Amino acid sequence: MSAPSMFETGTTLTFETAKGVLDAGLARIAAGATRVDCAPLERFDSSALAVLLAWRRAAQARRVDLMITHLPPGLVSLAEAYGITSLIAATA
């Protein structure tokens, strides 16, 4: 079972699922989550980057840093292509 301060992305984060995933994560952040685990992520597109950035902004608005862990290599490659790796990189 996950710690209350952590939530998972789920297995799919694409254009079709982004709104629901975004909203669920925003609710978790509003409830105090400070960490998101991307390990379950199997299917994703560039929408995943937009969701991660939105979650990070929401956490920063609460004056906390959102730790993003277990980014799939393909998602890291997308972030590199868009030049935003430092914005979604895992933090310790």
Strands (E), 1-92: 6-8, 12-13, 35-37, 43-44, 67-69
Question: Which of the four pLDDT bands, split at 50, 70 and 90, describes residue 1?
Answer: very low
Residue 90: what pLDDT?
61
> Is 35 in contact with 69 (CB distance < 8 Å)?
yes
Rg, the chain, Cα only: 12
Instruction: Kindly tell me if the per-residue pLDDT of 4 is higher than 80.
Output: no
Buried b / exposed e over 49-66, threshold 16 CB at 10 Å, is: bebbeebbebbeeeeeeb
pTM, entire model: 0.90
Task: Write the CATH number of the domain with boundaries 6-88.
Answer: 3.30.750.24
